[in-house]
Amino acid sequence: MDPLKMSNPGNERNNGKTLKKHVKAAPPRHPGSFKKKESELFVGNLPLDIKETELALVFREFGVKTVKKHKTTFNSFGFLELASADMVKLAIKRMNGSLVHGRRITVAVAEDRRPREPTNTDTEMPDLEPIPWEETGPKCDLSPKANTQTLDPPKLKILYAIPMEMRTSFLLQMLADCFKDVGWLFSIAKVVGKAALLVLDTVPQTPFFWAIHLTEECHQAMRKLFGALAESESCAPFLTKREVQQGTRCLAECIVGDEGHAWNRCWVVEKVEDLAVVFFVDFGRSATVPLNSLRKLDRDDFWAIKPLAQPFALQEEVFPPQLMMRKILEGKVVGPLQTERHILKFAIEDE
């Protein structure tokens, strides 16, 4: 008989006596054999409803190869195989303690889990005896009473973790290294009212996205910047491995949709052996690229134009699982987020 399947308490009483039920503790279960890999990462305290595809997107910049999520009644965790052991170290450094769907995740090296044989020190749980029904406390009649008002359950508001590239601390450091001026971060928060946005990158299944606010001033800045980059990309020398350091401003190829790749301004976030994690300042996008693919772009005139893209968040909707690029959204900027006031809320205009 299944020990968790309890019969009606009223049927357990026989002439005022309680029938005792003994619940045998289940024998300990040992995990299966697991061979540790240096490139494997453990992620704990995940949201219960997060999907493996979502988890892969959270860690996409570290070269995710495989994802395996595990879930219990009250806990959820996962194991990810990344591109290399160095990427594991980088993911731990950058992601441990970050928020995912409102929960602060734990990121660590995957431990070596092997089956353990029971020893003489293992003790067996004693038999458990249920408390008599009469001693379980006062009875509560849960049936609805007349003339009572029922309240609708409150609607829960879903909170989304703000992407690292949109956070104030990240952007302030980028602006200081690349533009020697952080004023842009505060000026973009002043945008309000009707606007047309050119979407450059989205965070799937969240409201966050990067876009260019289409104005005449911005259009002129785009023409000037991309014209200068087109002239210099062929003659700009490649950086040596020693020249590439955290905080270096340079030039790298960026995916720009169906049109393929184009050379754009970027900032080195992290250097890991022969790879570099870079942030494309005009697209709001991070990528991992080979060190020998970066070109020199340190003249101040290339960085006189402030970043073209800025962070936004949809007021009501969320983006689909597929990435969206180079699409124009029309609507209204309704104000900043309370937590990060440089991220503007955007309401899409009804068609």
Fold of 40-109: Alpha-Beta Plaits (3.30.70)
pLDDT at 191: 87
Q: Is 295 left (phi over 0), alpha (psi -120 to 50) or beta?
A: beta
**Segment 290-294 mean pLDDT:** 92
What is the distance between the alpha carbons of residues 193 and 213, in angstroms, rounded to a whole number? 12
Mean of pLDDT over the chain: 78
pLDDT one-digit tens code per residue, 96-120: 878 787 677 888 888 644 333 444 4
pLDDT one-digit tens code per residue, 261-289: 789 999 999 888 788 889 999 999 888 88
CATH 2.30.30.140 fits 164-234+242-348, yes or no: yes
Structure tokens at 314: 């949809």
pLDDT at 311: 97
Binning pLDDT at 50, 70 and 90, where does residue 142 land?
A: very low
Structure tokens at 162: 């703000």
pLDDT at 164: 87
pLDDT at 230: 85
Binning pLDDT at 50, 70 and 90, where does residue 158 land?
A: confident
Residues in the chain: 351
Between 261 and 211, the more confident residue is: 211
Where exactly are the structural domains of the chain?
Answer: 40-109, 164-234+242-348
pLDDT at 265: 96
Rg (CA), the chain: 28
pLDDT at 7: 38
Angstrom CA distances, 337 to 207, 237, 313, 317, 347, stand at 12, 41, 8, 15, 13
**Segment 230-254 mean pLDDT:** 91
Structure tokens at 198: 């050119």
pTM of the model: 0.60
pLDDT at 17: 42
**Segment 192-208 mean pLDDT:** 91
pLDDT one-digit tens code per residue, 309-344: 999 999 988 988 777 778 999 999 999 998 899 999
pLDDT at 100: 82
Structure tokens at 221: 């800045």
Identify the CA nearest to 42 among candidates 85, 4, 80, 84. 80
